[in-house]
């Protein structure tokens, strides 16, 4: 058994009940129960799943996609997604093929749409699961018969046409994963997967394990910070000073190293945090750059815990089933929290919250994020998660 520093718990207890009374807001804890297996399931041999969203949304949807795979173990499975998210399924043996077609592209849109129709027709699918269910996907699915494609079973929401199966009565839940689980339940598909289901090819896992060894990082002795967010969502960032202070507190309490993960947009913040912590704790901060997105899962699986802003790679990291804390302010944790039994979201109580703005109307820095104190986060990581008068836990 791997040893842990004495002061740090290896997992999270169950959080307090949510403020929302809806029992499926947190899909990692309660999943919609599907009815008995419908007879039409036996006729499904080829399946297409459509999910066009950003990286984090697609990572979350991978749990739903795996539930479809488990429900139809003998069927072939194809996935239609966009190029940025396709890296999540690199070398994934669950899929016969990936259809990476951006039918929403601003240029040559008609050409991309026609290609999408032709590719879907060539798949001869028995079941199409539209996890996007946007106006655009609905239009393309409605056009399939005119392209000579007749998919007998079409699953989606937002009304019947062009779907043969839908979950219009099950969309009051706040969390996107809960809505997708309700969609599957309407088709008799059970939700069993409690966290993102992503496959890490062995060559990627091995190369990053070797890199951790070279950097002196031992399993379950380091913590991970994901301090960024996309450039347009800077309001969701907790701030370099807060991450640096938390890093110093955790190093003083027995954690061996702090590992920083971030994309190109977050490089400046990561370097500043490394410098600020390194000034008092030299050699104990490692900024891992140039990782394949799937390698985040392998790094996370070796960590004690992870702390992140509301960012796409936090949803990827949730796949490793290690303790993950997501800090929320301008976004609602009941809607954006990554799924998984080891995930907790923190948000300050009171004041301006959940504005989803691009700038703070009250101050130069987001006040909702600054009210989450590093000392409070460190106590929760070290001593267990208990709600306080200042911070709520989801």
For the stretch 134-152, pLDDT in tens is 999 999 999 999 999 999 9
List residues bridging with 154 in a β-sheet. 128
Has residue 361 got a pLDDT over 90?
A: no
Enumerate helices (H) and strands (E) in the chain, giving the number of each. Answer: 13, 12
Contact predicate 269/262, CB 8 Å = yes
C-alpha angle with apex 16: 11 to 22, nearest 5 degrees? 120
- Half-sphere exposure (CA, 13 Å, Cβ side) for 117? 20
Residues contacting 100, CB < 8 A, separation 6+: 80, 81, 82, 83, 86
Among 13-22, 294-303, 319-328, where is mean pLDDT lowest? 13-22
Closest CA to 167 of 151, 153, 184, 152: 184
Residue 243's Cα: distance from chain center in Å? 21
pTM, 2 dp: 0.90
Question: What pLDDT, on a 0 to 100 scale, did the predictor assign at position 21?
Answer: 37
Q: What is the pLDDT of residues 22-56, one digit of tens each?
A: 433 444 445 555 567 899 999 999 999 999 999 99
Arithmetic mean of pLDDT, 50-63? 96
Arithmetic mean of pLDDT, 266-279? 96
| Chain position carrying tokens 């409605």 | 142
- 275 band by pLDDT with thresholds 50, 70 and 90: very high
Q: What's the Cα-to-Cα distance from 334 to each of 2, 26, 131, 265, rounded to whole Å?
A: 33, 7, 19, 26
Question: What pLDDT, on a 0 to 100 scale, did the predictor assign at position 19?
Answer: 35
Has residue 12 got a pLDDT over 70?
A: no
Give the other-Cβ count within 10 Å of 350's Cβ.
10
Residues contacting 348, CB < 8 A, separation 6+: 329, 368, 369, 371, 372, 390, 391, 392
Contact predicate 326/337, CB 8 Å = yes
Question: What pLDDT, on a 0 to 100 scale, did the predictor assign at position 148?
Answer: 95
Q: What is the pLDDT of residues 283-300, one digit of tens each?
A: 999 999 999 999 999 999
Residues contacting 376, CB < 8 A, separation 6+: 388, 390, 391
Residue 97 is inside which H or E element, if any? strand 97-100
Has residue 261 got a pLDDT over 80?
A: yes
Has residue 245 got a pLDDT over 70?
A: yes
Parallel, antiparallel, or unpaired for β 127-130 and 97-100? unpaired
Arithmetic mean of pLDDT, 153-157? 92
Burial of 271 (0-12, 13-18, 19+ CB in 10 A): middle
User: Which of 12-16, 44-48, 105-109, 262-266 has the highest mean predicted lDDT (pLDDT)?
Assistant: 44-48
Question: What pLDDT, on a 0 to 100 scale, did the predictor assign at position 173?
Answer: 57
Walk me through the domains of the chain, giving residue ranges and CATH numbers.
39-186 (3.40.50.2000), 202-393 (3.40.50.2000)
Which 3 state secondary structure label does DSSP give 217?
coil
How far, in Å, CA of 293 to CA of 230, rounded? 15
């Amino acid at each position: 058994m791997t040893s842990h520093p004495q002061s740090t718990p290896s997992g999270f207890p169950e959080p307090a009940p949510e403020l929302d009374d809806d029992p499926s807001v947190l899909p990692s804890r309660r999943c919609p129960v599907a009815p008995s297996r419908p007879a039409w399931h036996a006729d499904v041999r080829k399946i297409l799943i459509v999910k066009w969203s950003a990286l984090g949304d697609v990572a979350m949807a991978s749990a739903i996609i795996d539930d479809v795979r488990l429900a139809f173990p003998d069927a072939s499975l194809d996935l239609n997604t966009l190029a940025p998210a396709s890296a999540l399924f690199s070398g994934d043996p669950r899929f016969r093929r990936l259809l990476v077609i951006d039918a929403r592209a601003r240029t040559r849109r008609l050409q991309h749409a026609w290609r999408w129709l032709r590719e879907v027709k060539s798949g001869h699918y028995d079941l199409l699961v539209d996890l996007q269910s946007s106006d655009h996907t609905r239009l393309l699915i409605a056009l399939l018969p005119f392209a000579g494609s007749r998919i007998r079973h079409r699953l989606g929401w937002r009304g019947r046409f062009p779907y043969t199966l839908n979950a219009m009565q099950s969309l009051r839940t706040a969390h996107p994963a809960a809505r997708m689980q309700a969609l599957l339940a309407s088709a008799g598909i059970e939700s069993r997967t409690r966290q993102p289901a992503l496959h890490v090819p062995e060559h990627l896992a091995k190369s990053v394990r070797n890199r951790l060894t070279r950097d002196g990082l031992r399993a379950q002795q380091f913590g991970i910070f994901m301090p960024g967010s996309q450039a347009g969502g800077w309001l969701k960032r907790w701030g370099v000073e807060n991450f640096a202070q938390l890093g110093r507190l955790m190093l003083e309490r027995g954690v061996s190293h702090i590992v920083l993960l971030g994309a190109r947009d977050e490089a400046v913040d990561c370097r500043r945090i490394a410098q600020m912590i390194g000034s008092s704790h030299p050699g104990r901060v490692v900024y891992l750059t140039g990782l394949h997105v799937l390698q985040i899962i392998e790094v996370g699986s070796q960590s004690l815990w992870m702390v992140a802003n509301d960012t796409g790679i936090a949803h990827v990291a949730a796949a490793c089933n290690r303790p993950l804390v997501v800090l929320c302010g301008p976004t609602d944790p009941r809607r954006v929290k990554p799924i998984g039994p080891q995930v907790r979201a923190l948000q300050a109580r009171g004041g301006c919250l959940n504005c989803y703005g691009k700038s703070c109307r009250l101050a130069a820095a987001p006040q909702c994020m600054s009210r989450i104190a590093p000392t409070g986060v460190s106590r929760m990581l070290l001593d267990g998660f208990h709600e306080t008068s200042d911070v709520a836990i989801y």
